[in-house]
Amino acid sequence: MTKKSGRPARSQVDIQAMRTKIANVARDLFREEGFDAVSIRRLAKEVGCAPMTIYAHFDNKTAILRHLWGDVLNALFTEIQIKLVRVKTAGERLEIAAQTFVSYWVQNPEHFRLIFMSNDVMRSDVDTFIQDGQTLEYFNSFNNLVQDVLPANTNPKSKTDVLISGLIGIALCHNTIRDYPWSAPEIMTSRLVTGTYS
């Protein structure tokens, strides 16, 4: 019996480890130099591999960015779900979810910039990511929380949209306009949540 020549097939663990390494290096480069400034060749050099290795794991640079966006949102919404496990009342659940959402972005400004402030990303790339089933599910979880605090047969859509955009706005102000003496994000978030159902 003769052995096949060439490299042995890599395991799923090895493949995932390389994807993670590529994504982590890309995240740091995007943060330091901007999305548009980082080429696949440059990324490959920093990872320590050939450019074709990058393409073996991701279709293009935007696919890496979308992967990073997914990781960030998964971490955030997992944290929210963990905090909601033992909370029973609808008002408390909405308050905790909103506070966790804002707190995450304020404590992780680099993640906020990656998601909401990535320069030179095509609108179609963002739209594709936003329309992804998992992304929609994350944000629909707020729709369900808002529905629970409203009277029966009330459509929560507009109130949810105002809440989410307001929460993002609070994080944006605290992350980008630091010289202004904003009220604490917890206070601003609480007022926004109260306005959702009052």
Taking the C-alpha atoms of residue 135 and residue 102, their distance in angstroms, rounded to an integer, is 17
Q: Are 134 and 36 part of one and the same domain? A: no
- CATH code of the domain in which 151 resides: 1.10.357.10
> Domain limits at 116?
61-197
Q: Is residue 100 part of a domain?
A: yes
Mean pLDDT to the nearest integer, 124-130? 66
Sequence-separated (6 or more) residues with CB below 8 Å from residue 106: 112, 171, 174, 175, 185
Is it the case that residue 140 has pLDDT exceeding 80? yes
Taking the C-alpha atoms of residue 162 and residue 186, their distance in angstroms, rounded to an integer, is 17
- Please say whether the beta carbons of 144 and 85 come within 8 A: no
Q: Are 131 and 47 part of one and the same domain? A: no
Q: Is residue 102 part of a domain?
A: yes
> Per-residue pLDDT tens for 145-187?
999 999 988 899 999 999 999 999 999 999 999 999 999 999 9
Whole-prediction pTM: 0.84
Q: How many domains, the chain?
A: 2
Is 143 in a helix, a strand, or coil?
A: helix
Q: Are 28 and 77 part of one and the same domain? A: no
> Per-residue pLDDT tens for 19-72?
999 999 999 998 888 888 889 999 999 999 999 999 999 998 888 988 998 899
Task: State the pLDDT at residue 122.
Answer: 65
